[in-house]
Structure 1
């Protein structure tokens, strides 16, 4: 969930009412007078919204409570063109001469004869959240990265970013797609192969986390042209990086909503797009979509497929699904499950390599269990964010007293899984929610005001080490790898000057990511689904776990994590096989930070002799708050 809090006051987001329509010749300006300049029959062409064809544009809009619908724009000198009634809730017409780049709006007339100007709920391009819609042709962008393949789920390492603050300077407007593109080489070199973009669809204002989406089909105008968003995806793909897009359908807005009272009849709340009973209420306003209406479900579905198809996104992260399926954590909203199941089944059937992730925090296995039909089974998500991982890990490293750290809670965080699948969870120690709304970046939480201290560096990187060596899909939050401090805010860009100050910490993250992705073909087990936390020392605050896929040299990986401030010159644990085990990573190396202890951890040899439920054992040195990775 989130986020900067928005007013629960609901705004219609329209420009007011026009006068009753009067028939006038084509070409007469009618914006102020409500003059009808043309009347059309309904269109036989497919598509909703504004769909460009050779020589014109088809307009089709769902307005089931309207008596008449008009479209006006640059193509008609803003005179009103009446659309044909399809008598299924839709109004449509083919407008010759309406071409891409021209502005337009709809005018809906309700059953009482009142007219209202409306932006297109399916607008593909907006002036801004209160301005006109703009005709856009999805076929105009020429894609370059044709050979890209989305990484398999077990190979993904995600980097969460916010377009407005990822690469920007304080003052003036927010960052944009082009400024974000300038950092893609950096992300490729860091080793991540997926980026998760916080919501970037048209919202009120220019500065926002993005969770107040008003136009689910139109990229945020402050971030650039729709082609800029496509170019971001294209450039990411060119560098071998997939793109996951955050989507918000637990509520919309609550302000600047084009669909609010769209047909001119509010039905006691927001009209046909929204629940009008107690299910309307969310923590962010009374703007929960009415999932019970097939047309609203289709609207949500089409916005998702727009991202996966027209923008070639590699996955979706659904915000706060708990507040789609419940009113406020309780009270089941059954039609929401139809949304989950139908869309996830369609993705799996037609583009199963693309990932669908839920942020649910409470649904358990039901969220990631298979969806057998619209009305049966689980929700069908590929993965979900794991509170069961992040909270115990953060608690363990934020705690100031070693004696209070709970190694059994850390063990359970490492081994937890959903629906019996190791990669059905996204794991992290920082996310946009975990570093804001009263919480701070992890180094800041460890030592407020001293995020660059030895303790903050050691314990925050220990958490990162556990994240990147545990089963699941690991995720970082922007700037985490350069020890960003304070808390996340939509007007506070990442301080890239820290890349120089904490370049060694960046290298620590880079090395961990490469091991996770098996770059040297000797840590395959870190991508596997198997884990055995075989050593838990809750007194000494040390644990060790074995990771593997198929097992054997180059596959079996042994991780040792010291959650105490104690230096152990020799520490003995069980190993799965005899022979030399090579030290692939030591987070205490002073190349990562000059104040690290550079403990003389080294390769070790495992000999026969039962320990920790294994047939062999080996000894090694380990520094305080450090993580070691061994493999053969």
Structure 2
């Protein structure tokens, strides 16, 4: 009997009296469902054929929590396959589990912050906190640290991929079962409870999704049927040269309607069923181009581009307050253009044009080699007219990760470690990495930090090494520095509103002495205009003259050289200054000028 209930996979009836099963398997002789409810019989519960390769049935004796698989019959051969839509599995090589899709959501007052107010915290579930579940973090153990994140001031958590992957250790960018929650992190209910708890702390949840490839290991979708043209992946995958990716020849077939629907359904599952607040799409360059580049249109995948557009249009039509983020890493302004003009329709994208020049400038050993014009360019850079169409960062999982294959690429390190290898807790490493933090939180864009960055975590990040939370107490001043910057960035005290604004003027560039100053504002005026001064040299200045956009007293709201952040910082006075009409000297093209004091490798934030 064809199921009267809509939806794919295993869907329990609201009455509790059975389960609907539906699967897409074209060009086969038959499909059955086997499981604990029928002693794993390959024939007891056949599915009936619908249109276009879909099969369905209703099994009254099946119930939530039971394990199952589909059995594909082709001639005399029968093969057991996991449900591609399975919401839970016993393991990546185990069985599918029937899941109750309902959850007791309690009402909260949470609402998604505007893009210009977002502060993103990237985390990896397995390594963020293992205090409660020793050896491996879980959604449950993350909840124990939410008071710390709330106190820090971040208002969005970016969770690295949480779909079921092979084994217990992974970055998550190798999903075997895209609809299932990684079983070592918790159950589907654990994940929903995590989202609800995060919302109760006033924090959004953005989840990473991987659609540029699946697997390649433990992938039951691979050769789901015996049909595999050119000895490739079969119905879910390209069966020509478009299958190739750097992670395996498992690129989904974006031109096949059922596969497009599968990926679209997955995106909406995270946003609607799990109530996440946004998606970060991994490596979109490899969805739109075989080799992930901008330079050879002959290798573009048009249906990959249209799939992205369709998903973004669906999200905008259904839940326009939710954010979609692309990791394209190809400086492609079309990623964030509206779909109506031919763009991909993402709200924002990760900015390599920020992280690489900034890290290079901070890591460079000699002051004379630091390039203030490169810093100017990263402050000004935009993909479009909106400053918040880019996510900016100095650390992410890619920038700081231990190599999975040292023969292909070397290890990457945390910023303090890169500044002075083996001496990440040194004065130089702390001063220059925190100078990078000042630049991060004052530059136009959506700032993001990687887990532990706020308390000087060092070395290389790896998926088997939990965060050292003891550093939060050891480097409490660094934590306080990040907290202070985040509060100013969010206009916590209503005197730095310009840090949320679109406007910026880099009015002072001293490449000889390695100082730079810029003006941020939204509408201008008291509490809005912000002046940022950054010193990239190992030298203090008692009185350094810069221009100001308006006269009067400018108050120091932040000084990264304050000894409260570290006892060995210089505590060099970044005093309040009075700007007056300039009658001599270089005023940076501004009408008014004033003097500031600034310490070595330090940043100042002024406002009126």
Q: Distance in 1 between matches of 2:283 and 2:264?
A: 17
Does residue 1:300 correspond to 2:263, yes or no?
yes
Q: Report the counterpart of residue 400 of structure 1 in structure 2.
A: 365
Secondary structure in 1 matching 2:547:
strand
Q: Report the counterpart of residue 302 of structure 2 in structure 1.
A: 334
C-alpha spacing 1:419/1:65, structure 2 compared with 1 (3 Å): farther
Does residue 1:109 correspond to 2:73, yes or no?
yes
Q: Report the counterpart of residue 395 of structure 2 in structure 1.
A: 430
Match of 2:129 among 149, 167, 186: 167
Q: Distance in 1 between matches of 2:133 and 2:157?
A: 25
Q: Distance in 2 between matches of 1:123 and 1:563?
A: 53
Report the CA distance between 1:363 and its aligned residue: 5.0
Does residue 1:589 correspond to 2:557, yes or no?
no
Does residue 1:119 correspond to 2:87, yes or no?
no
Secondary structure in 1 matching 2:181:
coil
Match of 1:603 among 576, 584, 590: 576
Report runs of 4+ in structure 1 exceeding 6 Å deviation.
none
C-alpha spacing 1:172/1:522, structure 2 compared with 1 (3 Å): closer
Q: Report the counterpart of residue 78 of structure 1 in structure 2.
A: 40
Output aligned runs, 1:22-33, within 5 Å: none
Does residue 1:481 correspond to 2:481, yes or no?
no
Q: Distance in 2 between matches of 1:158 and 1:548?
A: 21
Does residue 1:519 correspond to 2:492, yes or no?
yes
Does residue 1:460 correspond to 2:436, yes or no?
no
Does residue 1:46 correspond to 2:22, yes or no?
no
Q: Report the counterpart of residue 362 of structure 1 in structure 2.
A: 330
* Cα deviations by residue, 1:24-59 (Å, 9 ceiling, x for unpaired): xxxxxxxxxxxxxxxxx2222210011111211110
Output aligned runs, 1:550-589, within 5 Å: 550-589=523-562
* Cα deviations by residue, 1:80-123 (Å, 9 ceiling, x for unpaired): 3110011311110111121111110001123x431111011100
Q: Distance in 2 between matches of 1:393 and 1:345?
A: 34
Match of 2:417 among 426, 444, 453: 444
**Structure 1 range deviating more: 169-178 or 389-398:** 169-178
8 Å CA contact retained: 2:331, 2:383: no
Does residue 1:234 correspond to 2:196, yes or no?
yes
Q: Report the counterpart of residue 9 of structure 1 in structure 2.
A: none
Q: Report the counterpart of residue 250 of structure 2 in structure 1.
A: 287
Secondary structure in 2 matching 1:223:
coil
Q: Distance in 2 between matches of 1:348 and 1:416?
A: 26
8 Å CA contact retained: 1:170, 1:492: no
8 Å CA contact retained: 1:542, 1:560: yes
Q: Distance in 2 between matches of 1:278 and 1:500?
A: 53
Q: Report the counterpart of residue 407 of structure 2 in structure 1.
A: none
8 Å CA contact retained: 1:586, 1:628: yes
Secondary structure in 2 matching 1:433:
helix
* Cα deviations by residue, 1:466-504 (Å, 9 ceiling, x for unpaired): 011110100000000110010110000000011111110
With normalisation by structure 1, the TM-score equals 0.92
Q: Report the counterpart of residue 320 of structure 2 in structure 1.
A: 352
Q: Report the counterpart of residue 69 of structure 1 in structure 2.
A: 31
Q: Report the counterpart of residue 312 of structure 1 in structure 2.
A: 275
Q: Distance in 1 between matches of 2:32 and 2:547?
A: 75
Match of 2:352 among 369, 384, 387: 387
Report the CA distance between 1:329 and its aligned residue: 2.6
Report the CA distance between 1:65 and its aligned residue: 3.0
Match of 1:411 among 347, 353, 376: 376
8 Å CA contact retained: 1:115, 1:264: no
Q: Report the counterpart of residue 421 of structure 1 in structure 2.
A: 386
Match of 2:287 among 324, 336, 340: 324
Q: Distance in 2 between matches of 1:146 and 1:567?
A: 49
Secondary structure in 2 matching 1:418:
coil
* Cα deviations by residue, 1:409-454 (Å, 9 ceiling, x for unpaired): 1110011011211000000000000002321000000000000000
Secondary structure in 2 matching 1:243:
strand
Match of 1:549 among 522, 525, 528: 522
Q: Report the counterpart of residue 38 of structure 1 in structure 2.
A: none
Q: Distance in 2 between matches of 1:309 and 1:363?
A: 30
8 Å CA contact retained: 2:133, 2:141: no
8 Å CA contact retained: 1:145, 1:235: no
**Structure 1 range deviating more: 345-354 or 483-492:** 345-354
> What stretches of structure 1 of length at least 5 have no aligned partner?
1-40
Report the CA distance between 1:145 and its aligned residue: 4.5
Q: Report the counterpart of residue 612 of structure 1 in structure 2.
A: 588
Q: Distance in 2 between matches of 1:340 and 1:171?
A: 37
Q: Distance in 2 between matches of 1:172 and 1:269?
A: 41
Q: Distance in 2 between matches of 1:606 and 1:275?
A: 64
8 Å CA contact retained: 1:567, 1:622: yes
**Structure 1 range deviating more: 518-527 or 69-78:** 69-78
8 Å CA contact retained: 1:522, 1:554: yes
Report the CA distance between 1:377 and its aligned residue: 0.5
Secondary structure in 1 matching 2:19:
strand
Q: Distance in 2 between matches of 1:184 and 1:306?
A: 24
With normalisation by structure 2, the TM-score equals 0.95
Q: Distance in 2 between matches of 1:66 and 1:607?
A: 82
Report the CA distance between 1:171 and its aligned residue: 10
The RMSD of aligned alpha carbons is 1.2
Secondary structure in 1 matching 2:62:
coil
Paired residue total: 587
Q: Distance in 2 between matches of 1:547 and 1:458?
A: 23
8 Å CA contact retained: 1:202, 1:221: yes
Match of 2:95 among 132, 137, 146: 132
Q: Report the counterpart of residue 504 of structure 2 in structure 1.
A: 531
Q: Distance in 2 between matches of 1:590 and 1:147?
A: 39
Report the CA distance between 1:263 and its aligned residue: 2.1
Report the CA distance between 1:173 and its aligned residue: 4.4
Report the CA distance between 1:137 and its aligned residue: 1.3
Q: Report the counterpart of residue 191 of structure 1 in structure 2.
A: 153
